[in-house]
Structures are given as structure tokens and as C-alpha cells.
Amino acid sequence: MSGSVLFERRDDVAIVTLNRPEVLNAIDASMRSELPVAITAAERDPVVRAIILTGAGDRAFSAGADIKEFGAYTSLTETRAARQGRRWNDVLESTTKPTIAAIHGFCLGGGLEIALACDLRVASHESFFALPEVKLGIIPGAGGTQRLPRIVGLGHALRLILSGERIDASAALQIGLVSELVTRAELMPTALAWASKFAAAAPLALAYAKEAVRRGLDLPLDEGLKVENDLATLLLGTDDRAEGAAAFRDRRKPVYRGR
């Protein structure tokens, strides 16, 4: 590990930090390979109930792919290997645990694509968002063209992707790109509060709810409803489902074990 991604566990929350603040957390090859390792570590740790992603330093979540690496690959096979590395966001999106992007400052290009693969985005008032790829002669290639319209709708997504324009935090809130705006000082406490809220719920229920929503989005309604029904049925036999009902009856907090 080169240290371009930091992993910290705070009680039942994993905090994953993009850590190249001197270049606004630009995503280089080492960050691309270390991010899935950190996410997989959080996924496999039974104590972890939620994952927060954030950027080191005071200026950026991430200013996107490291542009200084562009053109570094001299053959098509090297380029192909590097591009396959860009599926790192799939690992993030497919984790069964809730993921929260805590965004401050620039959130551009590949940086925004990381945030788009998270379940929830909270941002400081001093944040800026863009997919500026077309200005560099490329297109968003780490999920941006697919995930952005699913989150903000076709019109807003096309406007942002075709213009490459940068929007500020209040515009991002307005189009639903982020869920909540807070001060810089409140950013991590807010993300941690969301994480605790998620951590209090039954882990399998969270995982299945996430699977139902994400898989269902790609299916016709009827098939999506079948997926929902199958997953809901599976949960009926879990200890946590019995615990949830028992805790309600006993007027106490449930203790969920993820089984």
C-alpha cells in the first residue's frame, strides 16, 4: 500500500480517505488499485456496518483522474489493463454495506464518479461538482454516463456531461446530486450521524434493501417486484427479523447480529 488511500475503523464505521491532498486527491494508478482493497476490507469486516468515503486536506474530495498520467501508456494492452482498473467503482457500488460520500471542495471527473457509486452524498457548502471529461477529449469512463442520469435524471445529466460545466453545492442540492449541505465543520459529524443511523438497522435488511433497489432499477417493474419479493421472503427466516419484533414488543433497542 502506498498510502494514497487511508483506512480507519471508528467503532462500527469504516472511514476510507482519498489521500493525495497535494494534488487535490487526483486518482492515480495506486489510488485506483488501493481503493477496492480498502472497500473490500470494510465489506469483509463483520464489525463494520457503514462506510464513509472522504478526501484528505482542505481543498478537494477529488479533482478526478490524475491528468499527468494521461498518455503514460504506450501500448493498447497497457491502456486496456488500466481501463479495466476503472471498474473499481463497481466494487464500491456492490458492497452490501451503506456507503456515504462526505464531500468538501472539488468533486470532479473520476472523483465525482466515486461519489456517484456511493449510496448517499453529503457535502459542505464549499463544494463544486463537474464531469469535465469532454473538455479533455474523453468521456466519463468510470460510470459517470450511467450513474449520473440514474441519480439526477436525463436532462440534468446530459447538461452536465455535454457541457462539462462546474456547479456549486446549492445547485447540486437542487438537482438531487447531493442529499444534504452542511458547514465544513459539520461534514464528518453529519456523515458519522448517517453512518450510526444505518448501523442501528439490521445488516441483512440493509444489504437486501440495497440489492432490491439497485437490481430493480435495471429491470422492468414486474421483475423488480419479484426480486423484492424474493429478498423480503428470505428475510422472514432471519434471527434479526425475530429480534426486531421482540425489541418492539419489549420497548427496547434491538441488538442485530446480521443473521
Catalytic residue set: 113, 133
160 binds ligand CAA (CB under 6 A): no
Sequence-distant contacts of 64-68: CB under 8 A, at least 24 apart = 64/26, 64/27, 64/108, 64/109, 64/110, 64/111, 64/112, 64/132, 65/26, 65/27, 65/109, 65/110, 65/142, 66/23, 66/26, 66/27, 66/28, 66/31, 67/26, 67/136, 68/26
Report, in angstroms and rounded to the nearest whole number, the Rg of the chain calculated over CA atoms. 19
d(CA 54, CA 38): 13
Residue closer to ligand CAA by CB (options 29, 41) is: 29
Q: Which whole-number Å values give the CA distances from 173 to 72, 92, 153, 213, 255, in the listed order?
A: 36, 22, 14, 22, 35
User: Least distance to ligand CAA from the beta carbon of 88, Å?
Assistant: 10
User: Which of 1, 47, 136, 213: binder of ligand CAA (CB under 6 A)?
Assistant: 136
User: Least distance to ligand CAA from the beta carbon of 141, Å?
Assistant: 5
d(CA 79, CA 91): 20
3-state secondary structure at position 14: strand
> What does 172-186 look like in DSSP terms, one character per residue?
HHHTTSSSEEE-HHH
User: Least distance to ligand CAA from the beta carbon of 26, Å?
Assistant: 4
Binding to ligand CAA (CB under 6 A) within 25-84 occurs at 26, 63-68
User: Least distance to ligand CAA from the beta carbon of 184, Å?
Assistant: 17
24 binds ligand CAA (CB under 6 A): yes
Residue closer to ligand CAA by CB (options 1, 67) is: 67
Binding to ligand CAA (CB under 6 A) within 104-133 occurs at 106, 108-110, 132-133
213 binds ligand CAA (CB under 6 A): no
User: Least distance to ligand CAA from the beta carbon of 159, Å?
Assistant: 17
User: Which of 23, 37, 235, 247: binder of ligand CAA (CB under 6 A)?
Assistant: 23
Residue closer to ligand CAA by CB (options 82, 227) is: 82
Binding site for ligand CAA (CB under 6 A): 23-24, 26, 63-68, 106, 108-110, 132-133, 136, 141-142
